[in-house]
Each structure stands twice: as C-alpha cells, then as structure tokens.
C-alpha cells in the first residue's frame, strides 16, 4: 500500500517555502510558486493536515530549520578534538572545548537602571515606592524633622 506523501519545497536561500501534496502546491509563502526549486523534506500525509495548510507549513518550516541548525551545531562540536593534559603519573581527559561564535548576538531587554536615590543614604532604587518605603523605615526620624 502506497501512502500519500507531502513535500516541503524551498527556494535556494531558504527564505520562501511551500507544501506540495498530490503534485499540486497547496500552500506557499511566496506570491509566485515558481521560485520553489528544491524539495527539502517529505513526510507521510496524515488526516487533519489539510484543515489548516498555513499552520502545517509554519510548524513544518520551524521543525525543519531547528533540526538543520541542531545538526550543523552538533557536527561542529564533533569536529573539535579532545585535548589531553599530562598529569604527574597519569593522563586525564578534558572534554572538548566549544568555540563561541561572537557574531551571534542575543537581543535582550536592558535591565532597568536605578535612577532614584535615597535622600539620606544615597541607596539606589528603580521605583519611587521602594525609595519611599526605605526612607520611612530606615530614616523615620529624619523625615519628621523635614
């Protein structure tokens, strides 16, 4: 029994994708389906994939690219050699060192910098409420004088 298969197609630089099913393009990310030049993955069709082809395409592309990146990363680590350090009377293995690629930068939110200072001891706070609570608790006698 031959099962029907779905095919994931892409252009050369993996920026546009489409799914072909029964030799017909059922969904694509491109306005012109002719840019898809190579089949990059295939899988057996299961009932329910056709309910939302756009969702199926988005999930398949994420899965495919994540696996491709993992395979590339894993092969780079395997290429590196294990280093041996000679001890006094035996040799000990040191695990393979991984090279950090500084060209990959993670976008992170900057942490809020404390911009408020206590009026009495110069401790820094991010929120006015925190500063007020601190001053009321630690500098109660000085607040009364003001």
pLDDT tens digits for range 11-48: 988 889 999 998 888 999 888 767 788 999 998 888 88
Burial 81-117 (b: 16+ CB within 10 A, else e): eeeeeeeeeeeeeeeeeeeeeeeeeeeeeeeeeeebe
- Kindly state the tokens that stand for 113: 């910098």
Residues 74 and 120 in one domain: no
Q: Which structure tokens are listed for 64?
A: 């495919």
Query: What local confidence, expressed as pLDDT, does residue 123 receive?
Result: 85
CA–CA distance, 110 with 139 (Å, rounded to integer): 31
Residue 3 backbone dihedrals phi, psi, to 5 degrees? -90, 145
Query: Is residue 126 domain-resident?
Result: yes
Tell me the residue range of the domain where 31 lies.
5-79
Within 13 Å, how many C-alpha atoms sit on residue 105's CB side?
4
| Residue 102 in domain | no
Question: Mean pLDDT per 10-residue run, the chain (146 residues)?
Answer: 81 89 88 81 85 88 84 63 47 44 60 78 85 86 72
Q: How many domains does the chain have?
A: 2
pLDDT value at residue 2: 56
Distance CA 66, CA 6 (A): 19
Boundary-marking domain end, from 79, 107, 136? 79
pLDDT at 50: 79
């Amino acid at each position: 029994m031959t099962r029907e298969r779905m095919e994931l197609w892409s252009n050369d630089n993996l920026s546009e994708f489409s799914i072909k099913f029964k030799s017909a393009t059922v969904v694509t990310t491109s306005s012109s389906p002719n840019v898809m030049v190579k089949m990059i993955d295939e899988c057996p069709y299961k009932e329910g994939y056709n309910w939302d082809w756009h969702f199926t395409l988005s999930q398949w592309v994420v899965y495919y690219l994540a696996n491709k990146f993992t395979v590339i990363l894993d092969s780079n680590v395997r290429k590196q050699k294990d280093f041996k350090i000679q001890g006094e009377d035996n040799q000990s293995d040191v695990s393979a060192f991984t090279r950090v690629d500084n060209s990959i930068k993670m976008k992170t939110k900057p942490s809020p910098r404390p911009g408020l200072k206590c009026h009495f001891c110069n401790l820094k706070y991010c929120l006015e409420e925190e500063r007020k609570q601190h001053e009321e608790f630690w500098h109660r006698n000085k607040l009364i004088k003001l």
